[in-house]
Amino acid sequence: MSTPVATRPFAVAGVARAARVRRYGLWLAAAVVLLLLPQSVRTGTAIAVMNQMGIAVIFALSFNMLLGQGGMLSFGHAVYFGLGGFIAAHVLNMAGRGAIYLPVPLLPLVGGLGGLAFAALFGSFSTRRAGTVFSMISLGVAELMAASSLIFDKFFGGEEGITTNRSKAPLLLGLEFTRDRQVYYLIAFWLFVATLAMYAFSRTPVGRMANAVRDNPERAEFVGYSQHRVRFVSFCAAGFFAGIAGGLFAVNYEILTAENMGLNASGAVLLMAYIGGIGAFVGPILGAVVFTFLQSMLSDYTGMWLLYLGILFLATVLFVPMGLAGLLMLHAPVWRARRVGRLLGPYVLTGALGFVAAVGIIGLLEMVHFVAAGRTGTRRLFWLVVAPRTLMPWLGFAALVVAGAVGVRWTGPRAVAAFAEASRPGRP
Partner 1 sequence: MFQLIFFSILNGLVYGMLLFMLSSGLTLIFGMMGVLNFAHASFYMLGAYVAFTVGLHLGFWPALVIAPVVVGLLGALVERQGLRRVHRFGHIAELIFTFGVAILVEEIVQLVWGRPAKSYQVPAALDFPLFRVMSSSFPAYKAFMLVVAVAIFAFIFVILTRTRAGLIIQASLTHPQMVAMLGHNVPRVFMIVFGIGSALAALAGVIAGPVLGTFPGMAQVLGSIVFVVVVIGGLGSLSGAFVASLLIGIVQTFAVAMDVSVGGALAAMGVHVNTAGALHDLWRVTIAQVAPILPYVLLVLTLILRPTGLFGTRET
Partner 2 sequence: MTPAIELSDVRKSFGATPIIRGVSLAIEAGTRQALIGPNGAGKSTLFNLITGKYPVTSGRIRVKGAAVTDLAPYEINRRGLARSFQVTNIFTRMSVFENIRCAVLWSAGYRYSFWHRISAARAVNERAETVLEQLNLTARRDVPAGVLSYAEQRALEIGITIAGGADVILLDEPTAGMSRSETEHVVGLIRQITAGKTLLMVEHDMSVVFDLADRIAVLVYGEVIAHDTPERIRANAAVQEAYLGVPQGGVA
Partner 3 sequence: MFRPTSALVFAVVVALLAGLASSATPADPIRIAYIDPLSGPFAATGENGLNQFKYATEALNKGGGVLGRQLEIVPLDNKVSPQESLIQLKKVIGDGIPFVFQGNSSGVAHAISDAVQKHNERDAGNRVLYLNYSAVDPALTNEKCHFWHFRFDAHADMKMAALTDVIAANKSVKKMYIIGQDYSFGKAVAEGAVSMLGKKRPDIQIVGNELHPIGKVKDFSPYVQKIVASGADAVITGNWGADMIALAKAANDGGLKVPFYTYYAASDGVTAAIGAAGIDRIRLVHESHPGNPNPPKALSDYLTGYRKLHPQNDVNQPRIHTGLNMLAQAIKRAGTTDVDKVAAALEGAEFTNLSGDQLVMRREDHQLQMPVYISVHTNKNIKHDLDASGFGLALEQKIEREKATQPTTCKMQRPS
Nearest C-alpha neighbor of 323 from the set 289, 295, 299: 289
Footprint (CB under 8 A) of partner 2, residues 178-207: 200-201, 203-207
Q: Which one-letter amino acid corresponds to residue 126?
A: S
Work out the number of other CB atoms within 10 angstroms of the CB of residue 36: 9
Does 136 bind partner 1 (CB under 8 A)? Our answer is: yes
Q: Which does 365 bind (CB under 5 to 8 A by kind): partner 1, partner 2, partner 3, none?
A: partner 1
Does 42 bind partner 3 (CB under 8 A)? Our answer is: yes
Which of 11, 19, 352, 395 touches partner 3 (CB under 8 A)?
19
Which of 107, 230, 258, 271 touches partner 2 (CB under 8 A)?
230
**Three-state DSSP state, 367:** helix
Nearest C-alpha neighbor of 211 from the set 65, 326, 60, 63: 65
Which of 45, 148, 167, 204 touches partner 1 (CB under 8 A)?
148
379 - beta bridge partners?
386
Look up residue 262 and give its DSSP letter: S
In whole angstroms, the minimum distance from the beta carbon of 162 to partner 1 comes to 14
Footprint (CB under 8 A) of partner 3, residues 363-422: 373-376
- Cα gap 134→337, rounded to integer Å: 42
Contact partners, residue 228, CB within 8 Å, separation at least 6:
127, 128
Does 140 bind partner 1 (CB under 8 A)? Our answer is: yes
Which of 81, 156, 281, 313 touches partner 3 (CB under 8 A)?
281
Nearest C-alpha neighbor of 56 from the set 79, 78, 86: 78
- Cα gap 265→244, rounded to integer Å: 16
23 - beta bridge partners?
none
What is the distance, to the nearest Å, from the Cα of residue 111 to the centroid of all Cα atoms in its chain? 19
Does 219 bind partner 1 (CB under 8 A)? Our answer is: no
Which of 83, 91, 142, 237 touches partner 2 (CB under 8 A)?
237
Footprint (CB under 8 A) of partner 1, residues 308-347: 309-311, 313-314, 317-318, 321
Nearest C-alpha neighbor of 245 from the set 263, 233, 253, 317: 253
Which of 96, 158, 407, 412 touches partner 3 (CB under 8 A)?
158
Binding site for partner 1 (CB under 8 A): 67, 71, 73, 125, 128-129, 131-133, 135-137, 139-141, 143-144, 147-148, 150-155, 263, 267, 270, 274, 304, 306-307, 309-311, 313-314, 317-318, 321, 365, 368-369, 372-374
Binding site for partner 2 (CB under 8 A): 1, 5, 200-201, 203-209, 211-212, 214-216, 218-226, 229-230, 233, 237
